[in-house]
């Protein structure tokens, strides 16, 4: 038997052996979906040494892409140049760097990562559209969610008015005009936001058949992990990428794990996929992760959702039952005693078992209490905080300098550069002065910054030397690698400033330096070091979270969304009350609402992270409010 099939069950082996045509692997948590996806890619590459086609694997997070790359490299060493494992956004970014000129984009386009920047542009688009809006009702801030939805749903200009049909007629035309103007503004500013990266990539492929044909020739096989999370624009991209004659699309998905409905994911997408690609469906019901008692309550819970795929197989536990079943439910008078107990229970475990624990909850607010109680019991806890931008002054300086080298007189980046410089050197350089000098000086804000800084007598020798040698590396030669190295040397040589070391400007520096190095290494591994240009580096950095890795010995406290795709020895799912899980919003929408079904899937995802034991807790009072036990506890078969 091939090494790619060893220890797999019959259905998993069938999925790994699948060669041509469309296959949907529809399976529950812990059933080996990621395993079969990576093994199939490894097998295909290894068994076709004389072929040149590439396999494209699309994921939602860079973490998942990196993990799959590592797994495939282990299975089929040296396969790197025949596989592209990347996120939808990174793929779209790469496509637009190469072909965006067909839409008027330059390869060094900027990604707008902050809502503030997008709102500013949208306000300008409202003015461009020449509509007389009442500002309070029709501001960029108010319109942004609607624009997001239109972009995420790949709504063409001609369909906008139908989509917003509930608005009065005059407003419909206005939304349509602003939508068009916003997209034009983005292109004119040589920038994109996250949703428009996907929709513009779709536009290139739809309007330029030769480009689509070339991509389909290179990537003869397309695979998607966690397909259930795709929004409509991502699905449209997929349709453009898969050749309609061969339909070599391999998708793994679980409709019971759709928890991004608010981001455009929908149970209907899987139905559309089956219909559009005439997918063969293969189910993998065997669960290798959870104890049988957990599988039992998971099956009972999810059976209450009415929008599931018809005929979906129940999960079957592969693990044998143990005496204690690995399942507990505890009830407390109030939330404080609940989290205090959880913290004590975790702290009483051995160090090695503690490392296998996780605390899960629907909201961060409840997790913050758990972190505090764990700390009181001498246990370090880790509450992941998604970070889209660096916050320490050294990294802010580095990032702003690189961004300015890429878009030479950007006011916002100039402002960030001068603020970071003040934190590092204690010297105030007026950003408006830099911008106006740049306008007179070939447009380079970095060059004008250098000139203005060098005029200042207060500049330390160490910093003067750095600026004189390093900034020209960047401005004249775009040698960002030497610039980064010189910058880190400059940071290391800055005089100790103990009063600053504890301030927010510096406290995260060491962590952020490691994150920077890891991100750059990851980007270079994905694209090949020599191919990474400055604008590519910046765009890819914008697509990646700046969150530092979890300290090894810390107990993670995750929202359910953050725990997706992971597994833990001991799971503590806390605050199992109405208004928490299910959320207040879902309770308001009603028992049969799509929101309530999504909450049930959240609960399903949470409990199926369990490898050995699941502990559910709830209390009568949460944050001072009387709360009823979660309806999901009853649905799982508990008497509450
Ligand atoms: N045939 C098998 N024999 C033994 N263990 C297996 C087998 N298939 C998968 N596993 C194990 O089951 C666990 C879950 O596998 P994997 O992470 O691939 O599942 P998944 O379906 O992607 O899960 P989720 O949907 O929750 O992300 C892993 O620890 C994996 O090693």
Output the CA 278–ligand 1 centroid distance in Å. Answer: 26
For a substitution probing ligand 1, which of 31, 563, 607 has the most ligand atoms within 8 Å of its CB?
31
The arithmetic mean of pLDDT across residues 594-612, rounded, is: 97
CATH code given to domain 292-384+552-636 = 3.40.50.300
For a substitution probing ligand 1, which of 14, 35, 295 has the most ligand atoms within 8 Å of its CB?
35
The domain ranges of the chain are 1-94+200-284, 110-189, 292-384+552-636, 393-543
10 — pLDDT class (breaks 50, 70, 90):
very high
139 — pLDDT class (breaks 50, 70, 90):
confident
DSSP state of 20: S
User: For the chain, what is the mean pLDDT?
Assistant: 91
Whether the bond into 582 is cis, omega within 30 of 0: yes
pLDDT at 603 over 50: yes
Output the CA 368–ligand 1 centroid distance in Å. Answer: 30
251-296: pLDDT as tens digits:
999 999 989 887 777 888 899 999 999 999 999 999 999 999 999 9
- What is the position in ligand 1's atom list of the atom closest to the CA of 8? 1
- What is the position in ligand 1's atom list of the atom closest to the CA of 287? 12
Output the CA 34–ligand 1 centroid distance in Å. Answer: 7
- What is the position in ligand 1's atom list of the atom closest to the CA of 225? 22
Residue nearest to ligand 1 atom 1, measured at CA: 8
Q: Are 619 and 366 in contact (CB under 8 A)?
A: no
- C-alpha 34/C-alpha 71 separation (Å) is 10
Residue 499: predicted pLDDT:
45
The arithmetic mean of pLDDT across residues 383-409, rounded, is: 89
Return the number of other C-beta atoms located less than 10 Å from residue 528's C-beta. 10
Residues 6 or more apart in contact with residue 10 via CB below 8 angstroms: none
Residue in 429, 430, 449, 426 with CA at minimum distance from that of residue 495: 426
Q: Is the dihedral of CA 188, 193, 198, 199 positive or negative?
A: negative
Residues 6 or more apart in contact with residue 403 via CB below 8 angstroms: 110, 410, 413, 538
Token reading at 231: 């929004």
Output the CA 35–ligand 1 centroid distance in Å. Answer: 6
Q: Are 557 and 381 in contact (CB under 8 A)?
A: yes
- C-alpha 83/C-alpha 55 separation (Å) is 5
- C-alpha 354/C-alpha 555 separation (Å) is 7
The arithmetic mean of pLDDT across residues 613-628, rounded, is: 96
Q: Are 388 and 115 in contact (CB under 8 A)?
A: no
49 — pLDDT class (breaks 50, 70, 90):
confident
Residue nearest to ligand 1 atom 16, measured at CA: 32
DSSP state of 102: G
Q: Which of 119-133, 168-182, 317-331, 559-573 bottoms out in mean pLDDT, i.e. has the lowest?
A: 119-133
Q: Residue 482, by phi and psi: left (phi above 0), alpha (psi -120 to 50) or beta?
A: alpha
Q: Are 573 and 617 in contact (CB under 8 A)?
A: yes
The arithmetic mean of pLDDT across residues 89-113, rounded, is: 95
- C-alpha 255/C-alpha 249 separation (Å) is 18
- C-alpha 154/C-alpha 233 separation (Å) is 5
- Name all residues whose Cβ lies below 6 A of ligand 1: 7-9, 12, 27, 29-35, 254, 288-289, 565
132 — pLDDT class (breaks 50, 70, 90):
low
**1-94+200-284 shares its CATH topology with 292-384+552-636:** yes
Residue nearest to ligand 1 atom 4, measured at CA: 288
The arithmetic mean of pLDDT across residues 465-486, rounded, is: 92
| ipTM for the whole complex | 0.96
Task: Report the DSSP beta bridge partners of residue 252.
Answer: 25
pLDDT at 509 over 60: yes
Output the CA 226–ligand 1 centroid distance in Å. Answer: 14
Residue nearest to ligand 1 atom 25, measured at CA: 29
Question: How much of the chain exceeds pLDDT 70, in percent?
Answer: 97
DSSP state of 577: B
Angle (deg, nearest 10), helices 292-302 and 594-607: 180
Residue 131: predicted pLDDT:
65
For a substitution probing ligand 1, which of 289, 320, 566 has the most ligand atoms within 8 Å of its CB?
289
- C-alpha 210/C-alpha 39 separation (Å) is 32
Output the CA 31–ligand 1 centroid distance in Å. Answer: 5
- What is the position in ligand 1's atom list of the atom closest to the CA of 12? 1
Output the CA 39–ligand 1 centroid distance in Å. Answer: 12
Residue nearest to ligand 1 atom 24, measured at CA: 29
Task: Report the DSSP beta bridge partners of residue 221.
Answer: 55
Helices (H), 153-248: 160-163, 169-188, 194-207, 209-218, 232-241
Residue 152: predicted pLDDT:
92
Token reading at 246: 């061969």
Output the CA 74–ligand 1 centroid distance in Å. Answer: 17
Q: Are strands 625-626 and 610-622 parallel, antiparallel or unpaired?
A: antiparallel
Residue 267: predicted pLDDT:
81
- C-alpha 161/C-alpha 559 separation (Å) is 37
Residue nearest to ligand 1 atom 15, measured at CA: 32
Output the CA 314–ligand 1 centroid distance in Å. Answer: 16
498 — pLDDT class (breaks 50, 70, 90):
very low
Residue 497: predicted pLDDT:
59
Q: Is 497 helix (H, G, I), strand (E, B) or coil?
A: coil
When comparing pLDDT for 175 and 334, which is higher? 334
333 — pLDDT class (breaks 50, 70, 90):
very high
137 — pLDDT class (breaks 50, 70, 90):
low
Of the candidate CATH numbers 3.90.950.10, 3.40.50.300, 1.10.150.20, 3.50.50.60, the domain formed by 1-94+200-284 belongs to 3.40.50.300
Residue 440: predicted pLDDT:
81
Task: Report the DSSP beta bridge partners of residue 618.
Answer: 331
539-590: pLDDT as tens digits:
999 999 898 888 888 999 999 999 988 999 999 999 999 999 999 999 999 9
For a substitution probing ligand 1, which of 41, 68, 288, 609 has the most ligand atoms within 8 Å of its CB?
288
């Amino acid at each position: 038997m091939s090494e790619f099939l060893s220890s797999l069950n019959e259905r998993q082996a069938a999925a790994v052996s699948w060669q041509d045509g469309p296959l949907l692997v529809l399976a529950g948590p812990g059933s080996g979906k990621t395993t079969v996806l990576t093994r199939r890619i490894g097998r295909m590459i290894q068994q076709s040494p004389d072929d040149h086609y590439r396999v494209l694997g699309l994921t939602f997070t860079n973490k998942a892409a990196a993990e799959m790359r590592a797994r495939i490299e282990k299975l089929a060493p040296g396969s790197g140049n025949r596989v592209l494992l990347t996120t939808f956004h990174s793929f779209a970014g790469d496509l637009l760097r190469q072909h965006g000129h067909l839409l008027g984009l330059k390869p060094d386009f900027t990604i707008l990562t902050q809502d503030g920047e997008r709102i500013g542009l949208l306000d300008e688009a409202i003015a461009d559209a020449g509509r007389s809006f009442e500002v309070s009702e029709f501001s960029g801030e108010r319109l942004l969610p609607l624009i997001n939805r239109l972009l995420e749903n790949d709504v063409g200009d001609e369909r906008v008015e139908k989509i917003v049909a509930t608005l009065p007629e005059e407003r419909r035309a206005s939304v349509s005009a602003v939508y068009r103007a916003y997209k034009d503004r983005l292109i004119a500013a040589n920038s994109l936001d996250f949703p428009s990266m996907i929709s513009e990539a779709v536009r290139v492929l739809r309007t330029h058949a030769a480009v689509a044909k070339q991509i389909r020739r290179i990537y003869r096989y397309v695979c998607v992990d966690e397909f259930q999370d795709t929004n409509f624009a991502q699905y449209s991209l997929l349709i453009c990428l898969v050749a309609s004659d061969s339909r070599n699309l391999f998708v793994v998905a679980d409709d019971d794990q759709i928890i991004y409905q608010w981001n455009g994911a929908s149970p209907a997408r899987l139905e559309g996929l089956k219909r559009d690609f005439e997918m063969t469906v293969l189910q993998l019901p065997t669960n290798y992760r959870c104890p049988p008692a957990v599988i039992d309550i998971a099956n009972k819970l999810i059976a209450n959702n009415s929008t599931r795929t018809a005929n979906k197989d129940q999960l079957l536990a592969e693990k044998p039952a143990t005496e204690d079943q690995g399942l507990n439910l505890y009830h407390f008078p109030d939330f404080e005693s609940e989290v205090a107990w959880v913290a004590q229970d975790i702290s009483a475990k051995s160090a090695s078992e503690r490392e296998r624990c996780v605390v899960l909850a629907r909201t961060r607010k409840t997790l913050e209490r758990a972190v505090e109680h764990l700390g009181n019991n001498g246990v370090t806890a880790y509450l992941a905080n998604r970070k889209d931008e660096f916050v320490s002054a050294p990294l802010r300086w580095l990032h702003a300098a690189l961004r300015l080298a890429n878009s030479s007189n950007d006011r916002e980046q100039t402002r960030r550069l001068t603020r970071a410089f003040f934190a590092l050197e204690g010297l105030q350089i007026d950003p408006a002065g830099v911008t106006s000098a740049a306008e007179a000086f070939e447009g380079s804000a970095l060059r004008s910054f250098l000139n203005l800084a060098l005029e200042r007598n207060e500049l330390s020798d160490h910093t003067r030397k750095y600026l004189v040698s390093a900034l020209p590396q960047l401005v004249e030669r775009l040698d960002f690698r030497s610039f980064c190295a010189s910058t880190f040397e400059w940071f290391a040589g800055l005089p100790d400033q103990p009063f600053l070391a504890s301030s927010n400007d510096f406290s995260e520096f060491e962590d952020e330096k490691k994150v920077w190095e890891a991100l750059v290494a990851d980007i270079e591994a994905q694209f090949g070091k020599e191919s990474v240009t400055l604008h590519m580096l910046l765009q890819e950095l914008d697509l990646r979270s700046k969150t530092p890795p979890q300290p090894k010995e810390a107990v993670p406290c995750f929202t359910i969304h953050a725990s997706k795709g992971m597994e833990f020895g001991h799971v503590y799912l806390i605050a199992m009350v109405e208004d928490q899980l299910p959320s207040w919003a879902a309770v308001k929408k009603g028992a049969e609402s799509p929101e309530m079904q999504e909450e049930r899937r959240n609960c399903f995802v949470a409990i199926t992270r369990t490898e050995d034991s699941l502990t559910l807790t709830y209390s009568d009072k949460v944050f001072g409010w009387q709360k009823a036990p979660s309806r999901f506890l009853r649905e799982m078969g508990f008497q509450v």
